[in-house]
Amino acid sequence: MRIEVTRTGGFTGIGRHVVLDTTSRPDGPRLEALAREITAEGANPDARGVPDGFHYEITFDDQAVRCMDPHITPAQRELLQTVLGEGA
């Protein structure tokens, strides 16, 4: 599975885009399970971001999920931290 994360916003406004292929990763099955869980959770239509907060778009299997600080679920946070390689 190919997972893409695009992060925008933040204090500096510098965007970031990372593509991760789960095929050869030992944690690939876990990341794919997180992606499916995020899709099942759906979006929170009432969620509003905060000033200088990050906005994320997570794309996989022709599906896109958008989320933003501080309204990130545990599954979203784990996936974002792994793909971006930093705290999310």
pLDDT tens string 18-64: 999 999 999 999 999 999 999 887 666 666 778 889 999 999 988 89
pLDDT tens string 2-19: 999 999 998 888 899 999
Phi, psi angle pair for 25, to nearest 5°: -90, 140
Reported pTM: 0.85
Given a contact cutoff of 8 angstroms between Cβ atoms, the answer to whether 53 and 68 are in contact is yes
Task: Please measure the distance between the N-terminal and C-terminal CA atoms of the chain and give it in whole angstroms.
Answer: 21
What is the C-alpha to C-alpha distance for residues 5 and 13, in angstroms, rounded to an integer?
16
Amino acid 39: pLDDT: 84
Amino acid 86: pLDDT: 66
Given a contact cutoff of 8 angstroms between Cβ atoms, the answer to whether 77 and 19 are in contact is no
Domain containing 62 equals 2-84
The count of structural domains within the chain is: 1
